[in-house]
Amino acid sequence: MRIIETKNLVKVYTGSTVEVRAVDSVDLVIEQGEFTAIVGPSGSGKTTLLNMVGGLDQPTSGEIIVDNVDITQLNQKQLVDFRLKNIGFVFQSYNLIPVLTAAENVSFIMELQGRVKSEIDTRTKEILSDVGLGDRLTSRPFQLSGGQQQRVAVARAMASRPKFIIADEPTANLDSKTTEKLLDMMLELNEKENITFLFSTHDQRVVNKARRVIVLEDGRIVSDERK
């Protein structure tokens, strides 16, 4: 089942003298449950592509179909609502809310979605246990290590069972051991909950774990390989 499809996606940044095609005519199909890494050198357009697929940035031209909805046709308000209901985000620097506990950070999105409290509580405990932090529900971010914080961020992204998760360089701030652990955990959740992962990375260890690797260069897909 197709979760994401881009058709002739283009993003052009216009400077005072030069025009940069950050994403150039990208046609891409992501199926449900795929664990896909987008790799490429700096400036190859990975983050721009992810931002557009995640509804955070508008393309210059082309279509982005998510679950049969062309999100390029949505206005800002509809996009915010779309992101809330359909997409989970994991950021490079975790971006947890420092004043909330791990459990509160995870339950926050579900509360924004208006889910009932009992469901929120059960799911929060379940997903934090799945990421190995069942005993750190009440810990605040500053009481957790970088790896633990990123695991909370993954739990937050997965808690509401989104259609897919976008992770922009999720392991960039982690050491190799923690990276390994986090990737194993993400793979486990990907298999257990059949949630689609789409992430950008420079990290070869991440590439090795990915089930599909898309290579971008100068905004174009130069290779797309399933393992």
Partner 1 sequence: MLTKLAWKNIWRNRTRSGVVLGAVAIGLFAGTYLSAFMNGWMLGSVQADIDTNLSHIQISDTAFSANNDIGAYFLQTNVAEKLANTPSLKEISFRLILNGMLSSANNSVGMTANGVVPEDEQRVSTIWKMIPDSLGAFLPEDTRAAIVISEKTAEKLKVRLRSKIVFSFQTAAGEMQTMAFRVCGIFKTSNSAFDEGQAFVRYDDIFPLTALPENSAHKAYIRVADLETCEKITPELKTLFPDLSVQNWKELNPMFAMSLEYMDLYAMIIIGIFLFALAFGIINTMLMAILERTREIGMLAAIGMNRSRIFRMIMFETVFLTLLGSVAGIALAIAALIPSLHSGIDLTFMMSDSFEDYGFSSIVYPVISAEMFVEIVILVILTGILAAIYPARKALKLNPIEAIRS
> Cβ 66 to partner 1, closest distance in Å?
14
The nearer residue to partner 1, 100 or 207, going by C-beta atoms, is 100
In the list 29, 69, 80, 222, the residue contacting partner 1 (rule: CB under 8 A) is 80
Backbone angles phi, psi at 33, to 5 degrees: 85, 5
In angstroms, the CA 211 to CA 190 distance is 11
In the list 21, 43, 57, 125, the residue contacting partner 1 (rule: CB under 8 A) is 57
Does residue number 95 form part of the binding site for partner 1 (CB under 8 A)? yes
> Cβ 115 to partner 1, closest distance in Å?
11
In the list 34, 35, 66, 108, the residue contacting partner 1 (rule: CB under 8 A) is 108
In angstroms, the CA 102 to CA 82 distance is 24
Query: Would you give the distance in Å from CA 203 to the centre of its chain?
Result: 16
What part of residues 131-170 is at the interface with partner 1 (CB under 8 A)? 156
Does residue number 99 form part of the binding site for partner 1 (CB under 8 A)? yes
In the list 27, 81, 119, 126, the residue contacting partner 1 (rule: CB under 8 A) is 81
Does residue number 100 form part of the binding site for partner 1 (CB under 8 A)? yes
> Cβ 51 to partner 1, closest distance in Å?
6
Q: Which residues bind partner 1 (CB under 8 A)?
A: 51, 54, 56-57, 77, 80-81, 83-85, 87-89, 91, 93, 95, 97-100, 108-109, 111-112, 156
